[in-house]
Structure 1
Amino acid sequence: MEQKKSRFSNWMRNSITARMLVVGFLLLVLLIPLEFVKSLINERAYRQEEVVREINQKWGNEVLLSGPIVKIPYKVISEEKIFNEKSNAYYTKTKETIEHAYFFPDKLNITSNVDTKPLNRSIYESVVYSAAIGVKGNFPTIDFSDTDIPEENILWEKATVLLKTTNLKGIKTTPVVNLASEALSMTPQYSTEYLNTIQSYYIANAKEIFAASLPFSFDLKINGSESLKFLPIGKETDATMKSNWHSPSFDGNFLPEDTNKEISQEGFTATWRILQINRQFEQSFFGHLPDLSASAFGTKLIIPVDEYQKSERTAKYGILVIGLTLLVFLLIQLVSRIYIHPFQYMMIGLALVMFYTLLISISEHSNFFKAYAVAAISVLVLITVYSRAILKGFKFPLLICGSLASLYGFIYVIIQLENYALLVGSIGLFLILAIIMFASRRIDWNND
């Protein structure tokens, strides 16, 4: 029995196949803690999203603004024939319902000055803003003559002006629409739609003042987060947005004009010009105002660096780092004839896994570069010192330190790239494979 154990022990120590099987098995085992690390990253990222969402809800969510829109009610008279069983004859019942006509501006000019600032809760950060918005333009002549609505059914005395927005909570000044010589105060209306409605009081002498082109203007101060967008309801819509935010993401159905777009570390300026022909809806609606939010344009105000996303991308290369490091130790073992115990392989693998937990925890309190550098240096020192005790001397430990440092540097470069990440990664892996093939060419693989 002891002889069999001795043979097995000698086979494990001297057989190349046995050592490769052990290293392969340990690599599979180390995938378990690596998956736990990935789960931790996802959990922390989800927690960040949750906290940012809470911050934004209290300050004010994303803003989508539409308006002003003229709303004029009218009566619809319909007749229905009903059979009377007692008299055995039909009689006509007249039914009256109220519908609404909606008219958009001919010209719409929007200017917005967006002042952003970060809000923090514990280690989490969100970007919020206060926007000063000025809107002016003119309504067209409103004429029902080209419709089949009788003049006497139009309720001009109940005409109003509407504004629609996704964020009533963030409004910081009561909007007042200046319509010709009238100043119309606005009040919120109950709505279950995506866009909440703010409606003015009835417009005096609406029939007379809408008989010609009518100018309007209003100012609005509103708090929001994530994005600020507008609907291009004007026959000609011109918009200008200025902000101190340095990383805008222009969003929606229309992009700003390149000739007037400026982005710098001090902020950005962008302008849009949208014509009726550029969008797929008309200038007036009868009966129901549809949801036009798909035609919105504007800007997302985003935090450009997501530490958790970078940590997640780094962790995806974990199997590569662990596998190549263990392979380097295996090649050194085969070349130097120094025996490395499976337990020592396991300790080296766990040290490599610890890199990712260090990276996550430090990046929550510092920037990603510092976190990456501290985590990488810590693991490099630990493994180099440990390999010095295993391998004796300085030649092989320094080789391991250089190899691991190059690998961490290579991965850091990859995760900083976007367009060329796949290309650089593929070339790098090809070079690594070539180096391993070159280093292993003189190993005697017959020693089994």
Structure 2
Amino acid sequence: MVLLVPSVFVWVLVEERADRAQEVARDIAKSWGGTQEVNGPYLVVPYTETYQQEIDDKSVTKVVQRAAVLFPEVLEIGGDIGVEDRKKSIYSLPVYHGSLQLRGRFAARPTNMFRAMHGGTINVAYNQAVLTIGIGDVRALKSEVSLKLNGVQSLPFEPGLGSLAMNPQYRAGRAQNPSGINVAIPHATWRDGFTFDIPLQLNGSRAIYVAPAGQTTKVALKSDWPHPGFTGAFLPETREISENGFDANWTIPYLARGIPKVLTTNSVPLQDKMLGVKFVEPVDFYQTISRSLKYAIGFISLTFLAVFVLEMRSGWHFHWIQYGLVGLALIIFYVMLLAFAEHVGYALAYLIAALAATFLNAAYVGTSLRSKVAGMVMFLVLASIFAVLYALMREQDYALLIGSVIAFVALAVTMFVTQRIDWSGQQT
């Protein structure tokens, strides 16, 4: 129980280093590009509704600004994402360069596209229609963006979302500099429908999200990162993951999206219905070490049980201070694991720290009890304990089950090994 005090200090140290790593990761993302959210394209047409309202027995004329948002009839998003580890000091962050292609078509203007919410008169700004795309970190665009209209005309995008705005409720904790781009579409073009082709070159980090903006949306993303974490409102229909990367495909039909073909809104739609992929690091060793510290009391107890049994069998007395020194060696194991993991990776760091603690304690117990056999037994016990702890950290879903079984078996072995000991001091 006393050794739990330094265990807590080690846990605080792990959390402090983890916070430092997150701070450096945010600095890298700020310079390279944050989590990207590609939301669109949408055809946005502003209009006003003029109506009469009775206020204090007087008729007052009200004019309300609205925006009709038309979704693409078909949207196909293809993406090739190259990921690399960007380092700063001893820390690193997976960053990527994404090449996206947005293709599809808008249908002809629906008859019910503009709605009078208060039964007033509608005045549509037909020549102010824009095609809008929301982007999570607009600073990370790496080239000019142009719209290929009907396979022929090329129109450059301008910064901004037009009459729409991002909703901070949905972008919190994800996008860093959410904004967007827009391009004006002539009335004669969007009235009868049109096809579009939009290439995007953008940097980002941690994850990329896209919105199922089409009435029917197909998404195909591939990357050279072998540790994807698929997330969001929709999971891929098909996916192939190998050591060379992944290839994933989504198909989202109109009914699954749950939104009508035309929407009257002042904010970018579908911010809460995005799909995407996180570029997961294979081992988050800060989290792993923090979890392993939760097993410290069991880890130390198993070691003390082994020392106690060896003490009873050898006939030599092992002082409580010596127990404390053995326990402190186990606490220092966690510090060594943290320190080495930041430089050589978790697996090799675990091997180095575990071997150091095993050899030290085995040699100390063997010489203290004047028994080479005790030292060898202690070495085998500690090697087994470290191997089990490593397995527990790898099998997070079954850690509690495995740990409880091991604790029961260890107690049972101790009970039967010490069964013939006369606790009054005489061994029979």
Q: 1:342 to 1:77 in 2, by over 3 A?
A: same
| 1:350 to partner: Cα distance | 1.4
**Seq. identity, %:** 31
What is the alpha-carbon distance in structure 2 between the residues aligned to residue 426 and residue 126 of structure 1? 36
1:159 aligned partner: 129
CA deviation string 1:161-182 (max 9, x = no partner): 1111111111112221222354
The answer to whether structure 1 residue 341 and structure 2 residue 338 are counterparts is no
- The farther-off stretch of 425-434 and 124-133 is 425-434
What is the alpha-carbon distance in structure 2 between the residues aligned to residue 39 and residue 61 of structure 1? 28
Q: 1:393 to 1:81 in 2, by over 3 A?
A: closer
What is the alpha-carbon distance in structure 1 between the residues aligned to residue 331 and residue 265 of structure 2? 63
Of the three residues 64, 74, 81, the one matched with 1:107 is 74
| 1:388 to partner: Cα distance | 2.9
2:155 aligned partner: 184
CA contact 2:39–2:270 (8 Å) conserved in 1: no
CA deviation string 1:230-261 (max 9, x = no partner): 11111110111111111111111111113xx2
| 1:327 to partner: Cα distance | 2.5
Please say which structure displays the higher CA radius of gyration: 1
| 1:364 to partner: Cα distance | 1.1
Of the three residues 275, 291, 301, the one matched with 2:279 is 301
| 1:393 to partner: Cα distance | 2.8
CA deviation string 1:317-375 (max 9, x = no partner): 22122222222222333333312222222222211211111111111111222211111
Secondary structure of 1:131's aligned partner: strand
**TM-score after normalising by structure 2:** 0.89
The answer to whether structure 1 residue 96 and structure 2 residue 63 are counterparts is yes
Secondary structure of 1:153's aligned partner: strand
Amino acid at match of 1:179: L
- The farther-off stretch of 274-283 and 336-345 is 336-345
What is the alpha-carbon distance in structure 1 between the residues aligned to residue 415 and residue 146 of structure 2? 76
CA deviation string 1:395-420 (max 9, x = no partner): 22222222112111121122121333
| 1:192 to partner: Cα distance | 6.0
Matches within 5 A, 1:360-371: 360-371=338-349
Q: 1:148 to 1:341 in 2, by over 3 A?
A: closer
1:326 aligned partner: 304
1:20 aligned partner: none
CA contact 1:233–1:283 (8 Å) conserved in 2: no
Q: 1:409 to 1:138 in 2, by over 3 A?
A: same
| 1:80 to partner: Cα distance | 4.1
| 1:280 to partner: Cα distance | 1.9
1:211 aligned partner: 191
Q: Which runs of 5+ in 1 are unaligned?
A: 1-27, 84-89
CA deviation string 1:174-203 (max 9, x = no partner): 2212223543322222756445232223x3
Of the three residues 176, 183, 196, the one matched with 2:179 is 196
CA deviation string 1:204-252 (max 9, x = no partner): 3x1x323323111111100011111111111110111111111111111
Q: 1:192 to 1:256 in 2, by over 3 A?
A: closer
Matches within 5 A, 1:37-186: 37-80=10-53, 92-144=59-111, 153-180=123-150, 181-186=152-157
Of the three residues 384, 403, 410, the one matched with 1:406 is 384
Q: 1:417 to 1:143 in 2, by over 3 A?
A: closer
- The farther-off stretch of 158-167 and 378-387 is 378-387
CA contact 1:75–1:96 (8 Å) conserved in 2: yes
Secondary structure of 2:75's aligned partner: strand
Secondary structure of 2:192's aligned partner: coil
Amino acid at match of 1:189: G
Secondary structure of 1:223's aligned partner: strand
Amino acid at match of 1:413: A
What is the alpha-carbon distance in structure 1 between the residues aligned to residue 148 and residue 364 of structure 2? 77
What is the alpha-carbon distance in structure 2 between the residues aligned to residue 406 and residue 359 of structure 1? 17
What is the alpha-carbon distance in structure 2 between the residues aligned to residue 350 and residue 152 of structure 1? 78
The answer to whether structure 1 residue 249 and structure 2 residue 226 are counterparts is no
| 1:291 to partner: Cα distance | 4.5
What is the alpha-carbon distance in structure 1 between the residues aligned to residue 401 and residue 265 of structure 2? 56
CA contact 1:128–1:225 (8 Å) conserved in 2: yes
What is the alpha-carbon distance in structure 1 between the residues aligned to residue 358 and residue 60 of structure 2? 89
What is the alpha-carbon distance in structure 1 between the residues aligned to residue 55 and residue 215 of structure 2? 45
CA contact 2:130–2:183 (8 Å) conserved in 1: yes
Amino acid at match of 2:406: G
- The farther-off stretch of 398-407 and 138-147 is 138-147
What is the alpha-carbon distance in structure 1 between the residues aligned to residue 383 and residue 122 of structure 2? 84
1:6 aligned partner: none
CA contact 2:167–2:267 (8 Å) conserved in 1: no
Q: 1:235 to 1:34 in 2, by over 3 A?
A: same
| 1:294 to partner: Cα distance | 1.5
Secondary structure of 2:142's aligned partner: coil
Q: 1:362 to 1:147 in 2, by over 3 A?
A: closer
Q: 1:424 to 1:91 in 2, by over 3 A?
A: closer
CA contact 1:102–1:289 (8 Å) conserved in 2: no
What is the alpha-carbon distance in structure 1 between the residues aligned to residue 122 and residue 16 of structure 2? 64
Q: Which runs of 5+ in 2 are unaligned?
A: 169-177
Secondary structure of 1:234's aligned partner: coil
What is the alpha-carbon distance in structure 2 between the residues aligned to residue 81 and residue 396 of structure 1? 95
Amino acid at match of 1:394: K
Q: 1:158 to 1:440 in 2, by over 3 A?
A: same
CA contact 2:51–2:121 (8 Å) conserved in 1: no
- The farther-off stretch of 295-304 and 186-195 is 186-195
| 1:287 to partner: Cα distance | 4.5
1:5 aligned partner: none
| 1:152 to partner: Cα distance | 7.4
Of the three residues 394, 397, 403, the one matched with 1:425 is 403
| 1:387 to partner: Cα distance | 2.0
